[in-house]
Structure 1
Amino acid sequence: MDTAARELGTRLHDLLTGVRLLKQRRVDERSAVPPGLLGPLMLIERSAGGCHARELAERGRLDPSTVSRAVAALVAHGLVERRTDPTDRRASQLTITPAGRAALAETRNWYGQVLAQALAGWTPDEVAALSTALGRFTRDLGVAFAHHDNQEDAR
């Protein structure tokens, strides 16, 4: 591993630590979305017309049992509802409720305020460059994980 890769690894570790602390502060301030459920709720919201739990597991790269518990908690909090899938009556589609949309809006507003503060000294071009680089990195990391998983499966 070269020096630049080591430095990037250190910076990513620091970033993840900061994100974890930020999420903890959000929980401490009585978030409308319970701890650990923001990711699944956002994935459900992005699915126009609803999605199945197995799709959430695939997209979130999560164990189906983890998704099942998260969905049950989201339903119990009134943030998501289960509807019978019209194409397969044995399956349920998950859709976000108005309360779920409101909770996401509140959460995004809070994070938006924190980001605005953190990026106050940045130019719009710097913010755009960061966003572009993070988007590319996230996509490439997903490809690398998939490649790694395929290699593991081949063993």
Structure 2
Amino acid sequence: MVEPAAPAAAPAADRGDFEVADQLGRELVRFVRLINYFKTHVNKPTTKGVEGSAYPLLGSLVFDGPRRMTALAEAVHSDPSTVSRQISSLVSSGLVERQADPVDGRACLLAATAQGHELFDELRRRRTEHLAALLSEWDRDDQLRLVELFGRLNTDIESYQPEPSTTEGDVR
């Protein structure tokens, strides 16, 4: 039996970057695990029509205004069929409404209702209170640096286009 080849070592010049990336990967996995814990145990989900996965959809409509389903799915980096199901729930809860597209009457736009805006603001306020309490012991400069670096990481993740060979055997 032939032993599988060990992964190739990173080139010497990149070894330090690879180690940092590995450490970041471990911290990101830990972060996602903690966020999931936080959502279910600390910031208990509301029963007012917003499941956790629909929150970004409502937020996008609140911040960016009405948009078509496909544009909304693209904005939140999600599959249109998933967004369609989540939007149906938000519509039936009275948090989102379908409006005629003024540019193309055959299409519809999705828009947050006044009730959707109010609920989003309430959920955002609760999230902000928890984060403010969490960061209360941090130095103000560290808080601002965290926001800056986290925003930079999110932007880089959004625009990252991996080489096809790097996604084989992807571990999530």
Q: TM-score range by the shorter chain?
A: 0.7 to 0.9
Task: Report SS of the residue matched to 2:52.
Answer: coil
- Give the count of matched residue pairs: 148
Q: Is 1:148 aligned to residue 165 of structure 2?
A: no
Q: Distance in 1 between matches of 2:108 and 2:142?
A: 43
Q: Distance in 1 between matches of 2:116 and 2:37?
A: 24
- Counterparts of 1:1-150 in structure 2, within 5 Å, are 2-25=18-41, 28=44, 30-32=46-48, 33-48=50-65, 50-144=66-160, 147-148=161-162
Alignment deviations for residues 28-48 of structure 1 (CA, whole Å, 9 cap, x no partner): 453542232101111111223
Please, what TM-score do these two structures have when normalized by structure 1?
0.87
Identity %: 29
Q: Which has the higher contact order (CA 8 A, sep 6+)?
A: 1
Please say if residues 45 and 52 of structure 2, whose CA atoms lie closer than 8 Å, have aligned partners that are also in contact: no
Task: Report SS of the residue matched to 1:82.
Answer: strand
Please, what TM-score do these two structures have when normalized by structure 2?
0.79
1:111 maps to a residue whose letter is R
| Structure of greater Rg | 2
Gaps of 5+ in 1: none
**C-alpha deviation, 1:142, in angstroms:** 1.0
Across the aligned residues of Structure 1 and Structure 2, the Cα RMSD in angstroms comes to 1.9
Q: Distance in 1 between matches of 2:81 and 2:95?
A: 19
Task: Report SS of the residue matched to 1:36.
Answer: helix
Change (3 A) 1:77 1:45: same
Q: Comparing both structures, which one devotes a greater share of its residues to helix?
A: 1
1:81 maps to a residue whose letter is E
**C-alpha deviation, 1:27, in angstroms:** 6.6
Q: Distance in 2 between matches of 1:62 and 1:29?
A: 21
Q: Distance in 2 between matches of 1:141 and 1:99?
A: 32
Alignment deviations for residues 13-33 of structure 1 (CA, whole Å, 9 cap, x no partner): 111111111222367453542
